[in-house]
Structure 1
Amino acid sequence: MKVLHIITGLGVGGAELQLRLMLRHLPADCDVVTLTDAGTVARGIVADGTQVTDLGMSGNRDVAALPRLARLIKAGRYDVVHTHLYRACLYGRIAARMAGVRAVVATEHSLGDSQMEGRPLTAGVRALYLAGERLGRMTVAVSPAVGQRLNRWGVPRQRIRVVPNGIDLDRFRFDPAARVRTRRRLGLPDSAFVVGGVGRLTDGKRFDVLLHAASQLPEDVAVLLVGTGPREQELRRLAHRLGLADRVRFAGEAAHEEGGGADGVPGLPSLLSAMDALASPSPEEAFGLALVEGLACGLPVIYASCPAVDGFPAGARADASYCPSDADSFAQGLYGLRTALLPRRPAPAAVRHYCITRSAERLMRVYASVVPGPTPEVNPR
């Protein structure tokens, strides 16, 4: 089976990293087109052996990209076109129809109750999304919560399939040697209680709540923020105003594998090993991949929204605690974790539900359901 993935950009982000990981495990012949920004993740995908084409779109209204994309699809003779993120879903579906490919799948990575990829969910955004959705065959939701939101928007249930995001469980196993090494590199004392936050430094992630919470906690509590984004400088200024400048580390953009990320940042598994707890004050998540990765590393997690954890059986959530997205509540929850000083635990069995190989198998079944006629041959990678 030959599949073309089309994504808006390939800088570091949850959807982009998930695509790279999925490509490693899909038993199909895949190529990738990024509409713009062939960044860090694009280079990783190429290093893994998958071709990436940068369409070089100049902006959201660069309609001249449509015929170029349609020609590329037609020349590739793809069985399935799979689109990711809002702009790519719209342009990719139209271009696939122009190229005569009707087996089009879209993954909805970031639909919340009030926003999608940081844009407010206005009537215009919804109308354009639904107009594009009708040009495809199936929409993949990364969690049941996203599937329900799609249905409330007007996407028929029979056109929605849930395929959860996946992780490489072995990669995120706790590494005590990496813990020591990473703390020393970041200047974090061995005795510090380190609370992590992982994600884009944007308004929606509400890391300001985490900093305000930390300002209420004892001085041995440090904060390690992993990620970059438009609110980084604002968060740095807030840390200074709160008197936390010596207790907050901004790790920058981290790779998902060891070997480090941009500017020599340790890999995310090492950074998670260096933490004692993981916090997510974001009140609106589509999945909550970073929290699943933290649980796989044996961390207790505290969160305001995490459909992935909500999907666990009730008895399997012992290491994950819900908390309202306000500083006082997070301070109270984190103080309880610091006081308890629980030993590092093995990953809960429930995280195996999100093993990447299982997600890849489910996605292949979606592809088979949209391809007309006999199922094309599946080529192992």
Structure 2
Amino acid sequence: MRVLHVITGLGSGGAEQQLAALARRFPAHGVECDVITLTNPGPVADRLRADGVRVGHLGMAGNRDLAVLPRLTRAVRRGRYDVVHTHLYRAGVYGRIAARAAGVRAVVATEHSLGEAQIEGRPLTAPTRGLYLATERLGHATVAVSTAVARRLRHWGVPAERLHVVPNGIEAERYRHGLSARRGVRARLGVAPDTFVVAGLGRLVGGKRFDVLVRAVAAVPGSLLVLIGDGPERRRLLRLATALGVAGRVRLLGDRSAEEVPALLAACDALVSPSRDETFGLAVLEGLAAGLPVLHASCPALEELAPTDAPGATRFDGGLSELTSALAAVARAGPVRLPQPRAVRHYDIGRAAERLTDIYRRTAAHVAAPAGGTR
């Protein structure tokens, strides 16, 4: 089966990393993948190519660059794909139109980041929602990364029979690092062996509320914060750290590859996810996979499991005072490495690839069947 994945960009975001991890496993299920990115063929493009995946770049100039549509349609038609699978909002809009224009028999989309009031970190406006729904009807299956996202889509009016929940997956083995890796990474970062290091992981946008984390770390003496990721909030977070007098205790490491992140987490003592509006909570699972105590304000992935499945995770209300107290308690307890919990094994990336392959096959078979039609 030939599948084309269309994605908005290939920077180091969660959706992009998920696509790369899935592409590595699809061949075991008889699925051959190509990838087209509308913009930004960043570090994940290099990772895909290293794994033998063909990656195309359409050079889209902006949201309203309609010239990309015929180029994408021609690329889809040339590839003779059985399935087109889109990822992220802009790729979903353009990719569904192009796939149907090219006559592809099965069009699938994954909704990675839909919150109550935002989509992919941006305000969720009425026109944005309207365009999403109009183009969603051109697809055959819509995948949500959590039941919370599926519930929102269903509330919008997406038919239940077109909705599928396939949670994000994690490559658990990548996060198993020993004491030598911890020491080595700390030495490279210039961090003393006994420093309490807190990790934040994700795109630096307002909805992630990393400003709250900066303030909490500032209130815990002797602690240091490393933020792994990049985004428009970078300068504001640096100004905040300077204003609080802790610029030397806040390290903004920028985007890092999927290979680098596990080693960086090995050098940390805790991970904090301060966002109150997560659609899945992959950073929380990455922290747990690395054996860290994790504090989180929202994590639908864990809310769908029993508390005993993630004993290293603690939920807080999102407020600064509670986070500061919780961080101080973790610091007092000293560094620990916890075993990977059942939650991490539950969200194995191989399981996600298997479920998506099944959706591809069932959707293609249904659309091809005379009674099924193509809507």
Aligned pairs, number: 365
Given that residues 36 and 56 in structure 1 are in contact (C-alpha distance below 8 angstroms), is that contact kept between their aligned partners in structure 2? yes
| 1:175 Cα deviation from its structure 2 partner | 2.3
* Residue aligned with 1:371, SS: helix
Farther-moved stretch of structure 1 (242-251 vs 176-185): 242-251
Residue in 1 that maps onto 2:138: 135
Deviations 1:176-225 (A, max 9, x none): 1111011111111111111110111111111100011112212x211111
Distance in 2, matches of 1:18 and 1:374, equals 27
In the alignment, the residues of structure 2 paired with residue 211 and residue 126 of structure 1 have an alpha-carbon distance, to the nearest angstrom, of 33
Check if 1:37 corresponds to 2:40: yes
Which one of the candidate residues 328, 340, 349 is aligned to 1:335?
A: 328
Alpha-carbon distance in structure 2 between the residues aligned to 1:245 and 1:59 = 35
What residue in structure 2 maps to residue 197 of structure 1? 200
Alignment of 1:12-161 (within 5 A): 12-27=12-27, 28-161=31-164
Once residues 315 and 92 of structure 2 are traced to their aligned partners in structure 1, the CA distance between those partners, rounded to angstroms, is: 33
Corresponding position: 1:11 with 2:11 = yes
Alignment correspondent of 1:362 = 355
Q: Which amino acid aligns with 2:95?
A: G
8 A contact 1:4–1:81 mirrored in 2:
yes
Matched, 1:279 2:281: no
1:342 CA drift (Å): 5.8
| 1:312-331 superposed matches below 5 A | 312-331=305-324
Asked if the contact 1:174/1:298 (under 8 Å) is kept, the reply is no
The residue aligned with 1:224 is: 226
1:319 to partner: Cα distance: 0.8
Q: Which amino acid in 2 is paired with 1:304?
A: A
Residue by residue over 1:104-160, the C-alpha shift from the partner in whole angstroms, topping out at 9 and shown as x without a partner, is 000000001110012211211111101010000111111111111111111111111
How big is the shift at 1:59? Answer: 1.3
User: Unaligned stretches of 5+ in structure 2?
Assistant: 369-375
User: Which SS does the other structure have where 1:334 is aligned?
Assistant: helix
Once residues 337 and 282 of structure 1 are traced to their aligned partners in structure 2, the CA distance between those partners, rounded to angstroms, is 19
With the length of structure 1 as denominator, give the TM-score of the two structures: 0.93
Contact 1:175 1:270 in 2 (8 A): no
- Runs of 4+ in structure 1 deviating by more than 6 angstroms, as ranges, are none
CA separation in 1, counterparts of 2:189 and 2:92?
Answer: 39
Q: What's the CA shift for 1:286? A: 1.0
Identity, % of aligned positions: 55
Query: How far apart are residue 283 of structure 1 and its match?
Result: 1.1
Ranges in structure 1 where 5+ consecutive residues have no aligned partner: 258-266, 376-381
SS of 1:246's equivalent in the other structure is: helix
* Distance in 2 (alpha carbons) for counterparts of 1:222 and 1:106: 39
CA–CA distance in structure 1, aligned partners of residues 212 and 140 of structure 2: 40
| Aligned: 1:303 with 2:306 | no
SS at match of 1:346: coil
| Offset of residue 373 of structure 1 | 6.4
Residues 91 and 349 (structure 1 numbering): CA distance in 2 closer, same or farther, change over 3 Å? same
Calculate the TM-score normalised by the size of structure 2. 0.95
CA deviation after TM superposition for structure 1 residue 235, in Å = 0.8
8 Å CA contact 2:292–2:336 kept in 1: the answer is: no
1:311, distance to aligned residue in structure 2 (A): 2.1
Give the CA deviation at 1:374.
Answer: 10
Moved more, 111-120 or 338-347: 338-347
The one-letter code of the counterpart of 1:320 is A
> Displacement, 1:326?
2.1
8 Å Cα contact 2:144/2:167 also seen in 1? yes
The residue aligned with 1:168 is 171
SS at match of 1:26: helix
User: 2: CA distance between counterparts of 1:374 and 1:221?
Assistant: 56
Q: Which residue of 2 aligns with 1:263?
A: none
Q: Quick one: distance in 1 between partners of 2:184 and 2:196?
A: 16
Report deviation, 1:317: 2.9
Matched, 1:178 2:181: yes
User: Aligned to 1:195, what secondary structure does the other structure show?
Assistant: strand
Indicate whether 1:212 and 2:205 are aligned: no
- Quote how far apart the aligned CAs of 1:233 are: 1.5
Q: Distance in 1 between matches of 2:69 and 2:343?
A: 43
What is the match of residue 262 of structure 1? none
Does the 8 Å CA contact 2:279/2:299 hold for their aligned counterparts?
A: yes
